[in-house]
Amino acid sequence: GAVVSQHPSRVICKSGTSVKIECRSLDFQATTMFWYRQFPKQSLMLMATSNEGSKATYEQGVEKDKFLINHASLTLSTLTVTSAHPEDSSFYICSARTRPWAFEKLFFGSGTQLSVL
Amino acid sequence: DAKTTQPNSMESNEEEPVHLPCNHSTISGTDYIHWYRQLPSQGPEYVIHGLTSNVNNRMASLAIAEDRKSSTLILHRATLRDAAVYYCILGAARLVFGAGTILRVKS
């Protein structure tokens, strides 16, 4: 089956620094990728949708200048948390689908646990 | 976004079937019904999806009501590895997750 690789799996950083998370589709071309965040014991919250070669579409309430998303190729999307603060500590998960259609299933990465000190 | 309603938690015995319900009374005609599950500290995993007809795959079955306002995910023989949070989601260009159902499986 299709594999989505997310890296790193865990990162600890100091407050004020930036952190980049990579999401790669290993054996398929991902025209659309999604980024979610998840707090402990809560559900996934959709942050943004990115289509290859286009600007990401952010969900209401998500700061696009703080969470920079780049989807430069059909196999790679990156999420950069800029000037991270402790409240940004969360589990970040990416997902990808081959085509942006409602019946296409999503393939998820294994997530990145971000801890900001 | 069309909303789904699921029980907060359910419990099952190992080797027995499990029926996980989902209500989606505001579903539109083009919304697919997707089910994903998530184990602790992992990304979600696709389980099954359908539009109108019941669907079967090697993991589970999906029974969709005739009016499409509800559906049921059926795990035919629950194992300890099936213990997870199960999410019922109405699929469109974006998949917005609800609270899900925590499934506990007893040995």
Under 8 Å CB-to-CB from A32, ≥6 apart: which residues? Answer: A49, A50, A51, A52, A96, A97, A99, A100
Per-window interface: B 67-96 vs A, CB < 8 A: 85, 87, 91-96
Average pLDDT over residues B36-52: 93
**Amino acid B94: pLDDT:** 80
Cβ <8 Å between A45 and B99: no
Output the CA angle A79-A39-A92, nearest 5 degrees: 20
Cβ <8 Å between A103 and B49: yes
Res B9 pLDDT > 80? yes
User: For residue range B61-77, what is the model confidence (pLDDT) as tens digits?
Assistant: 999 999 999 999 999 99
**Amino acid A27: pLDDT:** 87
Interface contact A113, partner B, CB < 8 A: yes
Minimal-distance CA residue of chain A relative to B44:
A108
Alpha carbon of residue A42 to chain centroid: 17
User: For residue range A50-70, what is the model confidence (pLDDT) as tens digits?
Assistant: 988 888 999 999 999 999 999
Minimal-distance CA residue of chain A relative to B86:
A43
**Amino acid A67: pLDDT:** 97
A46 chain-B contacts, CB cut-off 8 A: 94-97
Interface contact B49, partner A, CB < 8 A: yes
Would you call A98 exposed, middle or buried from its count of C-beta atoms within 10 A (0-12, 13-18, 19+)? middle
Cβ <8 Å between B42 and A111: yes
Alpha-carbon span A10 to A19, nearest angstrom: 11
Of A43, A94, A106, the CB nearest to B46: A106
Q: Specify the higher pLDDT residue, B58 or A104.
A: B58
Alpha-carbon span A15 to A4, nearest angstrom: 29
Rounded mean pLDDT of chain B? 93
**Amino acid A104: pLDDT:** 79
Interface contact B102, partner A, CB < 8 A: no
Q: What does each of the 117 residues of chain A score in pLDDT, given as a tens digit?
A: 678 999 999 999 999 999 999 999 998 888 889 999 999 999 999 999 998 888 899 999 999 999 999 988 889 999 999 999 999 999 999 999 877 665 778 899 999 999 999
